[in-house]
A and B are shown apart, each in its own frame.
Chain A
Amino acid sequence: MIRRLLPHPALSVLVGLVWMLLANEFSMGALVLAAAVAVVVPLVTSRFWPDRPRIRFGPAVLDYLAIVLFDIIAANFQVAWIILTRRNRDLRARWLVVPLEVRSPEAITVLAGTISLTPGTVSTDVSADGHALLVHALDVADPEAEVARIKQRYEVRLLKVFR
């Protein structure tokens, strides 16, 4: 019964939380409306979510968020420095192929988004069988080291988050 009413509990919590933040005030009315939205939206859209991502909530998620947030800030300074100081002909723009160990579509999406937000890399495409990511790097001296860095820094941590 509760399973049919709340097909995606995590999504319900997220929708309710975003609604409360949008309302920008903590009142009983806003809370009731948030609860209603949190129940109705996942129910109506449940056909779009045939599988549910299996996420382990816990320190692994916080660990991942902290390292990504830190890297976003570092990436900003790094890219700004390249833009300001590096001449175009000295840029070592490269294509990287990152073989994937994560398999679930949600984990690959999160990894691709992370790669786009962090130092000097934009994820461009995924291979048709979902086993590799195509990544464009702005300025890389050693492509293999960069691929290894992405795998160690993000993918290993994602493997702990997604079961």
Chain B
Amino acid sequence: MTFAVEILVAFLLVLGGAFILIGSWGLARLPSLMTRLHGPTKATTLGVGGCLIASMIYFPATGGAWSAHELLITIFLLLTAPISANMIAKSHLHRQGHGIDPNPADGIATGLPPAPGGADWATFHGAADDEAPLPAPARRPPGQG
């Protein structure tokens, strides 16, 4: 392994580690759940990416086999990070909507912006039906349900 490759790998590892550290620090210090979501969805993708690229360079350079797994890890990470963030955000909307976990820094207490066209946001769509008491089974028309 040449000196230049060593420098490159070390640089990528330090860069990746720094971004993971900053993302975690953001998770700790930002004021509310919605703002905290920004740290792990972004700052850590480059962090993990840096470590994976370092691994892709290091192993072939030291006589190991080139591996495609780093590429797959990157793809799966990029696919799953927005989905988990979306799920956390949606459950947070519901908790705030029910006043369980209100945080003024999120601005949900002052009201979400309304969806254009008068439609509700999908996560609350039909929520009123869920909260209404269930109709008694005997009142259903026969043959249905």
* 8 Å CB contact of B113 from A75, A76, A134: A134
* Residues from chain A with Cβ under 8 Å of B123 in the complex: 125
Stretch at the interface among A35-43, A48-56, A110-118, A153-161: A110-118
Check B89–A128 contact: CB distance below 8 A. Answer: no
Assess whether A27 is interfacial by the CB under 8 Å rule: no
Assess whether A150 is interfacial by the CB under 8 Å rule: no
* Residues from chain B with Cβ under 8 Å of A24 in the complex: 67-69
Assess whether A142 is interfacial by the CB under 8 Å rule: no
Chain B interface helix/strand/loop/mixed: helix
Assess whether A31 is interfacial by the CB under 8 Å rule: no
For chain A, the bracket of interface size reads 35 or more
Check A88–B38 contact: CB distance below 8 A. Answer: no
* 8 Å CB contact of A127 from B30, B37, B83, B121: B121
Check B30–A83 contact: CB distance below 8 A. Answer: yes
Stretch at the interface among B4-12, B21-29, B131-139: B21-29
Q: A residues near B, CB below 8 A?
A: 18, 20-22, 24, 72-73, 75-77, 79-80, 83-84, 88, 91, 93-97, 99, 112-113, 115-120, 122-132, 134, 136, 138
